[in-house]
Amino acid sequence: MSTTVPKLTHLDQQGRARMVDVSAKPVTRRTATASGRIRVLPSTIRAIARDETPKGDVLAVARIAGVMAAKKTHELIPLCHPLMLDSIEVDFDFPDIDQVSESENASPVDLSIKAIVSLSGKTGVEMEALTAVTVAALTLYDMCKAIDHQMLIHGIHLVEKTK
């Protein structure tokens, strides 16, 4: 069992924050997949699925917000490199609406969010994928808060990355 502490690449020899120098790294195909969930009331999931929310098509807006967020990750996370992303996909996975209880006391359900980001470059895109999922979830929250005061964003994590 190794007790070696990994070197933190965002710190210089004096322990100060710095952007990592990737100039010597080769360009490779890199992909990252992130996912997360937003727990909503059954009535909210039905309203989203049927495009019956007061603010309109929340999935379209959340998808665009996720894509825009991935593109601007370097503006939000201080030491991230600005990247020329090749592809950003943001998708949603619903529970089976026909199986969701219509009872007032029914348990909340999860709407899953997934982002896949890719590029050919010298650094990974996991922060961009995580940011896309997070901002898509926040957008869903914002657009549904008038009809659901119990929403919970949870489980945001990196599923996989390749380099």
Q: Is residue 15 part of a domain?
A: no
Residue for token pair 């470059």? 121
68-99 confidence digits (pLDDT tens) = 999 999 999 988 999 999 999 999 999 888 78
Q: Which domain holds residue 36?
A: 28-162
Backbone angles phi, psi at 156, to 5 degrees: -75, 125
The strands making up 87-93's β-sheet, listed across from edge to edge, are 87-93, 109-121, 28-40, 152-162
Q: What is the reported pLDDT for 15? A: 74
Q: Is residue 158 part of a domain?
A: yes
- Give the closest residue to 163 by CA, choosing from 134, 126, 124: 124
96-150 confidence digits (pLDDT tens) = 887 888 777 789 999 999 999 999 999 999 999 999 999 999 999 999 999 999 9
Q: Is residue 150 part of a domain?
A: yes
Q: Does residue 8 carry a pLDDT above 60?
A: no
Active site residue 110: no
Q: Is residue 49 part of a domain?
A: yes
Q: Is residue 17 part of a domain?
A: no
Q: What is the reported pLDDT for 7? A: 64
Which one of 51, 86, 142, 148 is the catalytic residue? 142
Per-residue confidence band for 13, with pLDDT thresholds at 50, 70 and 90: confident
Task: Identify the CATH number of the domain in which residue 108 sits.
Answer: 3.30.70.640
One-letter amino acid for residue 163 of the chain: K
Q: Is residue 12 part of a domain?
A: no
Q: Is residue 76 part of a domain?
A: yes
With left for phi above 0 and alpha for psi between -120 and 50, is residue 51 left, alpha or beta? left
- The number of domains in the chain is 1
Q: Is residue 120 part of a domain?
A: yes
The distance in angstroms from the start CA to the end CA of the chain is: 26
